[in-house]
Structure 1
Amino acid sequence: MWRCKECSVYCPNRYELLKHLRLQHRHRQSYSCPHLNCPCSFKTLNALQIHLSRVHPKQACQEILELESFSCAQCSCKSLSNERDFFMHVGLHLKSHEIVTCMFRNCTFKTNIYGTFHSHKNRKHTPHTISDLKPGIVTTKNLFSQESSDANNDTLCPDDSAVGSISTSPCTDVDMRKTLTDVIEQNFASALLKLEHFAHVPGAKIDEFLEELHCLSSASHPLSVNIIETVLQKHGSTLDKLVIEEVATALSASHPLLKAIEKGGSLSTSYLRNKFYREHFNVIEPVEYVLDKRLSKSFQYVPILKTLQELFKIKHFVEKVVENHQIHKTSEETGVKVTYKSFYDGSHFKENYFLSCGELRILLTLYIDDFEVCNPLGTSRRKHKLCGIYWTLSNLHPASQSALSSIYLTIMCKSDDVKNYGYERIMQPLLQDVITLEEDGIFVPLLGKCVKGTIQVVAADNLSAHSLAGFNESFSAGNICRVCTATRSEIQVTDVRSGSFPLRTKDLHNSHVNSAHQNGSSCCGVKRQCVITKNLAHFSVQTGYPPDLMHDVFEGIVPVELAHCLSLMISKKYFTLDLLNKCILGFPYKWSDKTNKPCMIPHTFSKTIGGNAHENWALIRFLPFIIGHLVPEDEMAWQILMVLKDIIELLVAPVHTEDSIAYLESKISEHRKRYQDLFPNVQLFPKHHFLEHYPSVIRKFGPVVGLWTMRFEAKHSFFKHIIRLSNCFKNVPLSLSSKHQLMISYHMRASSFEKPILEMTNVSSVPVDVLERDIVQSIEQKCPGTIEVHMTRSVKTKGVSFKTGMLVVHGSNSGLPDFGKIVHIFIIQERLFFFTKRLCGWYSEHHRAFELTVCPTKARDLVELSDLADDYPLADYSVGSVRMVTLKRYVLV
């Protein structure tokens, strides 16, 4: 007997299990191996099937069989062998018009109507597992025995007497066939949706493919007749030729796929497919709002309340939200040492009574940005420039928020329309929905109550943030900061640390808004009241617009300072630009470092080297390894870049303490002094000033890396790809938003918002006693009684890959992190362990990296994932004759 790990349904053999997975779980992000002692998981069902054939070819059944028997509360029947038989049995009571109480926990629904019960079950309790049933319905019994473990017993059949009376009911068989037909049709429709809206295959081409498929299927009628005759002859039966013809015709006509793709079928044309998606996949369609009917000006709005209602119907989603809420609530009550891990730890959250009252609140993070869907340098420049407003739910774990499928669209319009009609007109339907969310909330059936919420923050670049918040959109003069009242000229001579710049408090900002309104001109950089603040009761400008690390640092300060410092070092003939580019291209990047390796610096660079955020981050991180040996240690330009590298490591750290914030503040002050001393004639950018606010920003908002726009920017690529392939520019916002909502409906069907804790594709089961002695001792100490472990060469957890040969940080010595090189990766009792060879790290100030040597004691350690000081793996590189490693982010030790 094979048990599905996803829903606990039993299947008689491997073939039936794979068929069950294809029908019921084809939308999952990964599939676990059904063998109970195998921790492997796979992205596709085909990969799982290959794994079963290669790794478990002789294992006919699972090693441990814990089967459930189901008891009926209406009668004395207690031997129903599986969930399907149980609900078929309940159906018999309903067809006899007996009143049946819902068997799921915390549900008091009653009915005596068969259709009403199944509608209730599908709406309120789908998906579900057997653990959701009320106590007493399911009884677990251990069937592990010598007979069940015999390899010759390929299946384990349930008690025939328990299912015999049910399987003979013609009404039940009809219902089962109808359900299976619907499942097959919907899964096929889902596959077509994936082709059309993920792979972006044109609808006309899919129509042609389905037409050809139907023709080929119809042409196979003689083959079906021949097969039926062969089977009948094999079993010694004969039927009239006309009867066989009729059977073959009936089989062909009743096949759900053929019925769906035949002429006039539900999936036969692009129009009918889209209609099917909207009827069966809970597609939340965009609503068009007309700005000017005469000029055909409009924008698309995806109702945010409807999206939230659909999300909160998903049990797994609600569980994750509640779990995350309980974690933060518990940490507040325990009163542990002050650390900043998320927005929940910042002062803005704690001082907002609506958010921090202890009740579960829906926290929305908005993102707003303009982007080009056509070539920004071509003839269509600015012609189809769009403004997109996205949102994500801050209640989820950061790893879940970063998935592009968890970033939802709410408004899509043309950028020119925003300028002509203003944000207040464009955002009106969105703000009306959020007002309802603040005042009334949405009803969550799984919690049995209404949950209120609001917009937590708005993530945006400086231009979009100033435009939406009502500040001046020019940064060349005047008051250029939305945190304080500093002017462009003042930031050249005074830093934030001096305390010379008054912070924008709520009262001060309101006085500036009133003055700007009365005088008709800006006051201290304020032009008008923020559109969101004007409508919402629990949102303010001071607490709603955090700075963006990506635009301020990686696409602002870093490329500019690299250009100035590299130009100076090239002029001093430490190296040439050609040599630098040769070294950048020839550097042996490893593992994940290859993904974002920096590009060549253009020969035409002057004030900036350009490049995107990932490339600039990688360049300044690996620059010490690439050209560090060519630059003298006392070179001032080099020191500026190395201090900037220290600042970046602190800014991208996921956890902060008061000590790390104070260290960041001192580094920013040092960097400013060095930069102005070396380049006295170069003016500081506004982004240099914004950087000086980051220490206080972390205290208010939590780690700034949790609020950057990096993942939101990646969402633009989806829309750019659609427009490039469709080449359709008629009502672009409608086309893009409609396709996006179909894509989101596919992900909602998957009901999986987090990747598996552990993902691996190849493991070996190894008895503990054959391992080396020090490994055995470590395992016995960490996990007493373990007799077998799983070994693998690579594993992925929460989106991060670990491989043998990588370095991990665990522990510290004299204030410096300890490194270990991964020798083996073990999975013990479903927990991830690394067996590491301890390395000694000596800090090199010039390289801002650690020189690695083998530990004199040659110690080796078994380290669990949760014990690591930083859960991001590193790679060591040869720098001359020395092995070195550089951190990617600051590590608290």
Structure 2
Amino acid sequence: MSETYYFCPLCITANVFQTYSSLFKHIREYHRDDPSFGIRCELTVFCGFRYSTFDSYRRHIYRCHRSLIDSSDDSKNNISSGIDDIHFMEDFSSDASFNDESSIADNSDSSIYVDEEVDEMEYNFLNMNPITVPVKEDKLSLKEFAEFYTRVLLELREYHLLPQKIVQCISSFISTLLDMTFKLIKIKTSTSAFIPTNDLDIVFAQVISIINSISKNEYQFLKQCKNFFNYEAPTEIILNKNEERAYYIPLKQSIRTMLQNETLLKSITDNINSFSNYVAKDKDLILSNRQGCCIKSNMSRRENSNVLLLKLYTDGISVTNPIGAKRDFHKFTCFYYLLDDMPETMRSKVNSIGLFCMCYSKHLNDQNNAKILMDVLVNDLNNLQNEGITIACPSSRIYLVFSTVSADNLGANEVGGFQKTFSSGSFCRHCLITYEQRLIPLTDISFVPRTKLKHDMVLSQVIENNDDKIIQGVKCCSWFKNLVGFHPTESLPPDLMHDVAEGLCPLIITALLKEAIQQRILSYAQIEERTSSFNFGFNDLSNKPPPIKKQHLTNSNVIGTASQRLCLFKLLPIIFYDIIDELALFNLYTLLREIISYLYAGIMRKSWLPYLDALCKSFYSLMVERLPDHVTPKVHFLTEYCRSIEKHGLPILNSCMRFESKHQYFKQIVNRSLNFKNPLLTMSKRHQLRQCLLNKLASSRFSPSITVYSSRLIEFVKFSIPIQRLLKKYVNETDSISESLSIYYHDLKMKQKSVFVYDLIHTEEIPIFCQIHHLLKINEKWFAIAEKLHTKAFNEKLWAYEVEYTGTLEKIDIEHCLDLFPHCLDIYVVKETYYINLLVRLTKR
């Protein structure tokens, strides 16, 4: 019988190959990067297409001629003996490295700590449970196999954000590996009568069929996600014109799926009960939004006690299409939701924020479009409030009550039907101040607050006039006018992020540094050098601001994110410690800094509000006196926070900061998918795929955990004598002790040398700090060995606590380190004195 030979069409000399697999290997190794790559497939009479890149040629071969790559001469296959396989496995095992704690303990000096920063998305992925088949082997069926493989593809797509083409390529590789595995099994069992190869053939054929079917196209993949992961597709809303669409996710099913997680529901219930108990014991405390009078009014409409608060957020998100002639700028309006009663450790996670709706911002400029969309959203929200959600819980039904809408000032004014300009007229949605009156000190006047009755009267007049004329800042009806529990004067709280972090903080920073330049205390170059070379502490490093350059001060624009600007404002006295008190405007800094310490507090007291109100009015009046040209609307908005606290609860809980982080996910999706034909559908669909995966992994998503990426075993005698004396009360010398440089507790990184608030003493509630020396795992529980620091005084110039080391060690449970303040702090050295910069005012529950 004649043999078939293969020739390389790309070589100058005719190289001959006995098998196509050897030819393909040759092309891959020697010609894949040829700039003039071009090859025509003539393996069958049906082929004949020419391929100009190796990747396109490879895809064709794997799809149409895979058998030629996998096939080999039978005699060569049979030559391979069991001894060769044993030698191969022995070599493989000897080369493999295992993370065995005993081997680490034997050579502790060679242990390597993995101590690198990871972003939130990577951290969430690292925290996922290993992929396992959650069924017994005797009950394993093709259905469980299909579910497992769908989850694999879902993780590849929604955690690694891989395109569908890459997922299909991975499926093709897996099919090839399984095909090779099957052939190896046939070879090894060809001489045995105990394993029927026909049965194996059928099973592997079915497995390969399932793999190829799931990743065949988008429809099949979404179908399997719906079967196994309860994927809910976004609902399309056709607006005024056929080509104008929006997409929304019905809230009832989304929240029901979320609340079916017993851990989450129990945490929310415990959080509500805990706050109620604390407030019953100390009525001066403000712990949650439930204590706001407007939210209390909404909750009073519901007789049932099983009530959860639902917060909405809206903002615009911008992406750019950089592709050739179709390059364009896209701006979308997003609506998110959040269960307002979640514990802080859960609500701070971006994954706890759900998507409600997405649409093009320009479509909302049309009143008919806005009405069509808002009618759908409002009906969905009202049905959720009226009917509740049936889930498996003791009461069987949970009711949702609308709380507030968080947004920036422009977005809030648009939602509420107020004017969208802040440079004229009645620009404030909280009171009736006009732009011309903003320069009147509040010592001479107080402005009339807006009320429901007055607002409705003005709105009726606007509607009656029907001439688009703005009256007292009211332009039109609110988008949510028919939403149960919503009113423009009571449901749109101010936002700390836009008002303070992005508004007042950079304003005061710029004013102080400009004064330093005008007084010839510092030059532009010196300011840039100080801000670029300052050594930020580890816990502040993630919010390190960019250097301040001349053009930034000239344009009165301190660049950076809200977190970076707030960090710079917090550390400004330490960065410029030698000149800060020489500035005449430093009083403005100290006033605003004290105001921020109250507004950003996670726990407040009602008795603080009169003093806070006086501080805000003093700051406003001083701004009018010292910097009248810089009295922006945001300076006025600061005076509205005390009234807002009474209405809506803690300002920090109404901040847009975490909602803004949600935008980054969608921007990443658009930039990676490069789909600008219908980006709304792409973003909403990919978000729902991610959510269905997270809901399946709900146990790891919401359960409190301590995550350690690297640790080492350490002998008891290796510790210093003071630590041995401390630990002797709790461990034996033979007990296993693990040490780590850093751990993640509720997604917060705790590291050696970090500082936390240990206690509050005296009537003034002076904080006592501890610095972590060791992070140890003893008897399956993590502890911090920390040194207590003595708080000597509060330095008003640096706005920081002066501390000194005491040498007193404490063994503290990790779970109690962050009870008083859920963040780690840094120590800064100024003139050989140690200082801790604490942003907020603390109080005990």
TM-score of the pair, normalised by structure 2: 0.77
Q: Distance in 2 between matches of 1:405 and 1:289?
A: 25
1:271-316 alpha-carbon deviations (Å, 9 max, x no partner): 32222112321111111111134x5111111111121222233333
For residues 768 and 725 of structure 1, do their structure 2 counterparts lie closer, same or farther at Cα, with a shift above 3 Å needed? closer
For residues 376 and 505 of structure 1, do their structure 2 counterparts lie closer, same or farther at Cα, with a shift above 3 Å needed? farther
Matched, 1:878 2:837: no
Shift of 1:638: 3.0
Aligned to 1:825: 775
Shift of 1:267: 3.0
- Counterpart contact for 1:479–1:487, Cα < 8 Å: yes
Q: Distance in 2 between matches of 1:376 and 1:566?
A: 38
- Equivalent of 1:391 in 337, 344, 354: 337
**Secondary structure at the counterpart of residue 843 of structure 1:** strand
Amino acid at match of 1:760: V
Aligned to 1:458: 405
Q: Which runs of 5+ in 1 are unaligned?
A: 1-47, 58-126, 128-173, 233-237
- Counterpart contact for 1:210–1:268, Cα < 8 Å: no
For residues 679 and 382 of structure 1, do their structure 2 counterparts lie closer, same or farther at Cα, with a shift above 3 Å needed? farther
- Counterpart contact for 1:504–1:542, Cα < 8 Å: yes
Shift of 1:817: 2.2
Shift of 1:550: 0.4
Q: Distance in 2 between matches of 1:379 and 1:663?
A: 59
Q: Distance in 2 between matches of 1:381 and 1:404?
A: 30
Matched, 1:836 2:787: yes
- Counterpart contact for 2:275–2:287, Cα < 8 Å: no
Q: Distance in 2 between matches of 1:384 and 1:820?
A: 49
Q: Distance in 2 between matches of 1:640 and 1:377?
A: 48
Shift of 1:261: 2.2
Aligned to 2:562: 613
- Equivalent of 2:201 in 219, 227, 249: 249
Aligned to 2:158: 197
Matched, 1:50 2:99: yes
For residues 839 and 381 of structure 1, do their structure 2 counterparts lie closer, same or farther at Cα, with a shift above 3 Å needed? farther
Q: Give 1:268-283 correspondences, 5 Å limit.
A: 268-283=216-231
- Counterpart contact for 2:829–2:835, Cα < 8 Å: yes
Aligned to 1:287: 235
For residues 599 and 448 of structure 1, do their structure 2 counterparts lie closer, same or farther at Cα, with a shift above 3 Å needed? same
1:674-713 alpha-carbon deviations (Å, 9 max, x no partner): 3333324x14111111111112322332221111111111
Aligned to 1:536: 483
Amino acid at match of 2:558: I
Aligned length: 711
Q: Distance in 2 between matches of 1:558 and 1:641?
A: 9
For residues 187 and 54 of structure 1, do their structure 2 counterparts lie closer, same or farther at Cα, with a shift above 3 Å needed? farther
Q: Which deviates the most, 438-447 or 212-221?
A: 212-221
Shift of 1:323: 2.5
Shift of 1:369: 0.9
Amino acid at match of 2:454: L
Matched, 1:809 2:809: no
Aligned to 2:173: 212
Shift of 1:818: 2.2
Matched, 1:363 2:309: yes
Matched, 1:402 2:345: no
Q: Give 1:201-350 correspondences, 5 Å limit.
A: 201-228=162-189, 238-239=192-193, 245-246=197-198, 248-254=200-206, 256=207, 258-262=208-212, 265-293=213-241, 295-332=242-279, 334-350=280-296
For residues 451 and 550 of structure 1, do their structure 2 counterparts lie closer, same or farther at Cα, with a shift above 3 Å needed? same
Q: Which deviates the most, 361-370 or 523-532?
A: 523-532
Aligned to 1:645: 593
Shift of 1:637: 2.4
Amino acid at match of 1:886: N
For residues 820 and 563 of structure 1, do their structure 2 counterparts lie closer, same or farther at Cα, with a shift above 3 Å needed? same
**Secondary structure at the counterpart of residue 715 of structure 1:** helix
Q: Distance in 2 between matches of 1:399 and 1:392?
A: 14
**Secondary structure at the counterpart of residue 847 of structure 1:** coil
For residues 724 and 773 of structure 1, do their structure 2 counterparts lie closer, same or farther at Cα, with a shift above 3 Å needed? closer
Amino acid at match of 1:207: Q
Amino acid at match of 1:226: I
- Counterpart contact for 2:171–2:211, Cα < 8 Å: yes
Matched, 1:548 2:495: yes
Matched, 1:671 2:625: no
- Counterpart contact for 2:757–2:768, Cα < 8 Å: yes
Shift of 1:458: 0.3
**Secondary structure at the counterpart of residue 693 of structure 1:** helix
1:512-565 alpha-carbon deviations (Å, 9 max, x no partner): 221222223332211233232x32332322331111100111111222232232
Matched, 1:655 2:607: no
Q: Give 1:117-128 correspondences, 5 Å limit.
A: none
CA RMSD between the two structures: 3.5
Aligned to 2:423: 476
Aligned to 1:32: none
Shift of 1:439: 2.0
1:627-670 alpha-carbon deviations (Å, 9 max, x no partner): 22134x24212332343233323322111113443443343233
Q: Distance in 2 between matches of 1:665 and 1:381?
A: 50
Shift of 1:384: 1.7
Q: Distance in 1 between matches of 2:261 and 2:311?
A: 20
Matched, 1:577 2:529: no
Q: Distance in 1 between matches of 2:420 and 2:694?
A: 38
For residues 51 and 718 of structure 1, do their structure 2 counterparts lie closer, same or farther at Cα, with a shift above 3 Å needed? farther
Shift of 1:467: 0.6
For residues 452 and 222 of structure 1, do their structure 2 counterparts lie closer, same or farther at Cα, with a shift above 3 Å needed? closer
1:706-762 alpha-carbon deviations (Å, 9 max, x no partner): 111111111111111111122121122112111111111111111134252433345
Q: Distance in 2 between matches of 1:426 and 1:623?
A: 46
For residues 224 and 269 of structure 1, do their structure 2 counterparts lie closer, same or farther at Cα, with a shift above 3 Å needed? farther
Q: Distance in 1 between matches of 2:98 and 2:315?
A: 44
- Counterpart contact for 2:231–2:692, Cα < 8 Å: yes
Q: Distance in 1 between matches of 2:293 and 2:372?
A: 32
Q: Distance in 2 between matches of 1:175 and 1:377?
A: 51
- Equivalent of 2:448 in 502, 516, 522: 502
Q: Distance in 1 between matches of 2:98 and 2:746?
A: 24
Aligned to 1:564: 511
Q: Which runs of 5+ in 2 are unaligned?
A: 1-96, 107-128, 130-134
For residues 612 and 581 of structure 1, do their structure 2 counterparts lie closer, same or farther at Cα, with a shift above 3 Å needed? same
Shift of 1:770: 9.3
- Counterpart contact for 2:440–2:624, Cα < 8 Å: no
Q: Distance in 1 between matches of 2:715 and 2:181?
A: 53
Q: Distance in 1 between matches of 2:158 and 2:739?
A: 39
1:153-175 alpha-carbon deviations (Å, 9 max, x no partner): xxxxxxxxxxxxxxxxxxxxx99
- Equivalent of 1:188 in 138, 146, 149: 149
- Counterpart contact for 1:266–1:272, Cα < 8 Å: yes
- Counterpart contact for 2:604–2:650, Cα < 8 Å: yes
Shift of 1:455: 1.9
For residues 843 and 618 of structure 1, do their structure 2 counterparts lie closer, same or farther at Cα, with a shift above 3 Å needed? same
Amino acid at match of 1:50: N
1:443-498 alpha-carbon deviations (Å, 9 max, x no partner): 22334533222321101001111111111111111111111111112221133x76
Q: Which deviates the most, 523-532 or 378-387?
A: 378-387
**Secondary structure at the counterpart of residue 247 of structure 2:** strand
**Secondary structure at the counterpart of residue 434 of structure 1:** helix
Aligned to 1:756: 704
Aligned to 1:727: 674
Q: Distance in 1 between matches of 2:715 and 2:173?
A: 54
- Counterpart contact for 1:304–1:430, Cα < 8 Å: no
For residues 535 and 781 of structure 1, do their structure 2 counterparts lie closer, same or farther at Cα, with a shift above 3 Å needed? farther
Q: Distance in 2 between matches of 1:850 and 1:225?
A: 74
1:335-374 alpha-carbon deviations (Å, 9 max, x no partner): 4242112212333333444378571213211111111121
